[in-house]
A and B are shown apart, each in its own frame.
Chain A
Amino acid sequence: MAAEWVVELKDVMKTYRTGPIEVPALRGVSLQIAAGEFAATAGPSGSGKTTLLNIIGGLDRADTGEVWVAGQNLQQLSSGELALLRLQRIGFVFQTYNLLPVLTALENAEFTLLLQGMPARKRRERVAKLFAEIGLAGLEDRRPAELSGGQQQRVAVARAMVTEPTLILADEPTANLDSATAIALLDVMEHLNQTTGTTFIFSTHDPQVMERAHRLIRLRDGRIASDETRDRQAARAAVRGDAG
């Protein structure tokens, strides 16, 4: 694997089986994502967006093909090694926030740091800095039920970012947010991408969100239908505009 790729997939296939029924989710996906990219996977429901993110994040395994993340071949890692990779190198942001309801915003954000065994003072410093950066200062002691959807998703982003991972995977992070809150969240994610150089891959089917991605990978029926950078998207839009 080339050193500059944070993620590299080679001819990855995945089929889900429910009894006699086989549902192909990915049909030979090959892809490279470089360090620091702010990429989105888009496509209609069932196109394979979530499966792709799950396989990159080590939450699921490909049937065939190779999956390299942060220099490691995921197909050859045990469950325990995958858990360690997720804990140390990958951050997750889920569609439904998925904060632990019994922990405060601060405790949720430092959850992964605690699992890593980081001392309390260092943990608190890191979380406080991140909270201030993404507009969560003052909400540290609130439980998820006491936060708005946008605030909860920011805490989820903080939880993903706090370990300073190589890669952040966000599965439809704005799906449950209104458009203003979604834009604000994307601002936060883009800001963190720009300032820390962390690679972001998120899935969406919201055109407004797609526009914010620096690279857009469109999936259809488990295959990559298009893979364009923002510049190419802009150029194509300009051509369409001229033609119009």
Chain B
Amino acid sequence: MRSLLLLVKISWRNLWRNPRGTALTALALGLGLALLLISLGLLDGGHEQTIADGVRFGPGHVVIEEKGYQDSNSDDLLLPALLVSRVEAFLRTPEMKKIVRGVSPRLLATGLLSSSANSAGVRITGVLAQDEPAVSLIPERIVEGTYLSSDKPSGVVIGSDLAHKLEVKIGSRVVLMTQALRPPGNGTKPGSGDEMQSTLLRVSGIFRTGLQAVDANIIQLPLPAAQTLLGVPDGQVTQVAILLQHEGDSAMVARALRKQLTGEPVEVLTWRESIPMLAQILGLDHAFNYIMNGVVLAMVGLGILNTILMRVLERRYEFGVCKALGLKPRQLAVMVVGESLALTAISLALGLALGLSVEHYFATSGLDLRWIFKAGLPPALVFDPILYSRLSSNRIVWSVGIVFVMATFISFYPALKAARTELPDALKVL
């Protein structure tokens, strides 16, 4: 124990024989850690934001649809009203209420929206005006007029790009034309699905999300109006979109719903299953980021290896003296590893201070990337141009751990070199 304390003392003092070199090496490793923390924070924050926006422009964190809808996208596959009521009742139970932020039944179809000036293909979304704002972002992005309400049964909200194309304003009349749906086995007369239906609507609100795919295609109208137009009986809907307080609960809520709906011909999907492309893009982004971080860490690691190895080679004579005096190879190795660990500890402190400070700034003020997207966001991209960093304590522990393990691992080679100091060669005076 006494000799270990001596070795620790020597290691620590050796570290400060060349303070500038030590400071530079510590800074390099510290910067590596800081970079890792900042990039992981922005990555996680960006992903969290992308998921949050993605699910709110799409089907929520969890969605319930008729079996087969996800693969076929057939608008004829509808959920019975009774099942929707069961789901809503279950999600209103005290334990689920804490987790669930909003539930919105939707009827989806395609149609043609025409004004006196033009017409365009649209994605019809029939929603309940009182439920949709808790799930969708569209009500929050109204830039002109107002969102749907129960006192405007023939109101419709459309995107700004669509409004521009149709040359309509708030209060303008538009005609929505579509084919009546043909839900299987609901007793609807065969062939009724082929009938063209139309209704006159009045533009009550115009939204702008910045996403061309949404702003040019999506329209929202009251669910009863949509059901009437599409000939859907008994309050049937295409999906029930559920938004949760935390994305991390998606799988758990989906499991609970599957259990609740056992035996029903429905599919309960998390956003990873209902928007697989978003999940894949995020996965790819993660992988790319890990590779980039790996490269940065490897470069920093090589720098550290070089520094420690140089320190060891410079002190070959000294190690020879220690060995001649009776220090065992293992003790020499401990001395070098101890020096490296002390250097790593300083570097980690520096890296944490720097990394967490910058991360905190990005977490509160955000990283504004609007200057990159001056010409507008790519149409298929769900992306908020102001990135807010989110760094969990797990990520911090993981990052510190990986840098610590890397630095320790790197010190083994110089330690081995020191341990293998050959006598009497090391004692030769040059």
Contact = CB atoms under 8 A, between A and B. Distances in A.
Asked if chains A and B come from one complex, the reply is yes
B318 interface: yes
Interface residues of A, number: 30
A102 B2 CA distance: 17
A60 interface: yes
B287 interface: no
21 contacts: A50-B424, A59-B324, A59-B424, A79-B329, A84-B326, A86-B324, A86-B326, A87-B326, A94-B427, A98-B317, A98-B321, A100-B322, A101-B318, A102-B13, A102-B17, A107-B9, A112-B326, A114-B2, A114-B6, A115-B3, A117-B2
A102 B326 contact: no
Contacts of A98: 317-318, 321
B326 A115 contact: yes
Interface in A84-135: 84, 86-88, 92, 94-96, 98, 100-103, 107, 111-112, 114-115, 117-118, 120
A101 B424 contact: no
What's the dominant secondary structure at chain B's contact region? helix
A102 B424 CA distance: 23
Given A54-B424, A57-B324, A98-B321, A115 B17 contact: no
Given A50-B424, A103-B13, A111-B325, 17 more contacts: A57-B324, A83-B323, A83-B326, A83-B328, A84-B326, A87-B325, A87-B326, A92-B325, A96-B429, A100-B10, A100-B318, A102-B10, A103-B10, A115-B3, A115-B6, A115-B331, A117-B2
B340 to A, nearest CB: 16
A167 to B, nearest CB: 14
A107 B8 CA distance: 13
B130 to A, nearest CB: 75
B14 interface: yes
Contacts of A50: 424
A138 interface: no
A95 B427 CA distance: 10
Residue of B2, B322, B323 ringed by the most chain A CB atoms within 10 A: B2
A80 interface: yes
Contacts of B325: 86-87, 92, 111-112, 115, 159
B52 to A, nearest CB: 55
A111 B6 contact: yes
Contacts of A59: 324, 423-424, 427
Contacts of B17: 101-102
A84 B323 CA distance: 10
A154 to B, nearest CB: 17
Contacts of B324: 57, 59, 86, 92, 94
Contact of B14 (A57, A84, A96, A102): A102
B299 interface: no
Contacts of B326: 83-84, 86-88, 112, 115
A94 B321 contact: yes
Interface string B53-65: 0000000000000
A95 B428 CA distance: 10
B327 interface: yes
Contacts of A100: 10, 318, 321-322
B280 to A, nearest CB: 55
Nearest to A91: B325
A50 B427 CA distance: 11
Contacts of A101: 17, 318
Contacts of A87: 325-326
A118 B6 CA distance: 12
Residue of A80, A94, A117 ringed by the most chain B CB atoms within 10 A: A94
Contacts of A94: 321, 324, 427
A203 B331 CA distance: 30
Nearest to B429: A96
A61 to B, nearest CB: 10
Nearest to B5: A114
Contacts of B424: 50, 54, 59-60
